């Protein structure tokens, strides 16, 4: 699972990386830098419209399907398990045609109560696979963009900390993943294979316990312990 991540990115650089033109960037909706993003906060997403144009904008991190009567669901939807996204009613429609990329500087996972920070070498941003949905409280209310991070079984180093991890989108699959005309069910297996390979190369280290609302780069500083974790 992924319930905290870091997002301190140059949005112009993200737009160039993911082929979003200047007019497709909604700067007023994008979040400020944070090293402690939690569910129900605003995250950045890249999605593609029906005309094939990509957009970079903000979204509520917890997917709410359009048929839901309430923005608060009886179960968490900030993550979606890749094994079941195509059959779960909450995620099935989004899997078919409403997929996105969620940029991140890195993410946290816990082994017991000990948090670890995962990131790409060299500071390259991560492209986490996501699903999105538009929701509104009533016919008179404005539409709100909501999103979830797709997760998969952890492998290698990440598996030594937690049994789940975000599913990453390799550059070569970005176009297919964002293409609304492509049925996402066809993409699940190849994305799992290629995304897993990306995760094998991630670096990670233990960090201090995350505060409920604190922030700053200090949160991703490595900590030294006298009882180091035993890795697989």
Q: What is the pLDDT along the chain (232 residues), one digit of tens a residue?
A: 689 999 999 999 999 999 999 999 999 999 999 999 999 999 999 999 999 999 999 999 999 999 999 999 999 999 999 999 999 999 999 999 999 999 999 999 999 999 999 999 988 999 999 999 999 999 999 999 999 999 999 999 999 999 999 999 999 999 999 999 999 999 999 999 999 999 999 999 999 999 988 899 999 999 986 555 554 4
Domain positions in the chain are 5-220
Distance separating alpha carbons of residues 14 and 19, to the nearest angstrom: 8
**Closest to 4 (Cα-Cα) out of 80, 88, 78:** 78
- Find the length of the chain: 232
Q: Which phi and psi (to 5°) does residue 150 adopt?
A: -80, 130
Q: What whole-number distance in Å separates Cα of residue 152 and Cα of residue 120?
A: 18
Domain spanning 5-220 has what CATH number? Answer: 3.90.1680.10
Residue 2: count other Cβ atoms within 10 Å of its Cβ.
Answer: 24
Distance of alpha carbon 132 from alpha carbon 113, whole angstroms? 30
pTM for this model (two decimals):
0.95
DSSP symbol at 176: H
What does the block give as tokens for 129? 């696979």
């Amino acid at each position: 699972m992924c319930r905290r991540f870091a997002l301190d990115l140059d949005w112009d650089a993200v737009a160039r990386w993911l082929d979003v033109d200047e007019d497709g960037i909604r700067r007023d909706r994008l979040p400020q830098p944070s090293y402690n993003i939690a569910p129900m906060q605003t995250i950045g997403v890249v999605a593609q419209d029906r005309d094939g144009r990509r957009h970079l904008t903000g979204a509520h991190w917890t997917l709410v399907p359009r048929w839901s009567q309430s923005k608060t669901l009886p179960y968490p939807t900030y993550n979606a398990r890749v094994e079941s996204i195509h059959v779960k009613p909450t995620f099935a429609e989004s899997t078919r045609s409403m997929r996105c990329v969620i940029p991140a500087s890195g993410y946290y996972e816990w082994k017991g109560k000990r948090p670890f920070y995962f990131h790409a070498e060299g500071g390259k941003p991560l492209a986490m696979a996501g699903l999105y949905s538009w929701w509104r409280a009533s016919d008179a209310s404005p539409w709100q963009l909501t999103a979830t991070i797709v997760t998969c079984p952890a492998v290698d180093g990440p598996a030594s900390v937690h049994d789940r991890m975000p599913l990453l989108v390799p550059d070569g699959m970005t176009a297919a993943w964002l293409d609304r005309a492509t049925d996402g069910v066809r993409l699940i297996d190849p994305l799992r294979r290629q995304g897993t390979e990306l995760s094998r190369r991630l670096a990670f280290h233990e960090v201090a316990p995350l505060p409920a609302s604190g922030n700053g780069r200090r949160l991703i500083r490595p900590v030294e312990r006298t009882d180091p974790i035993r890795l697989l």
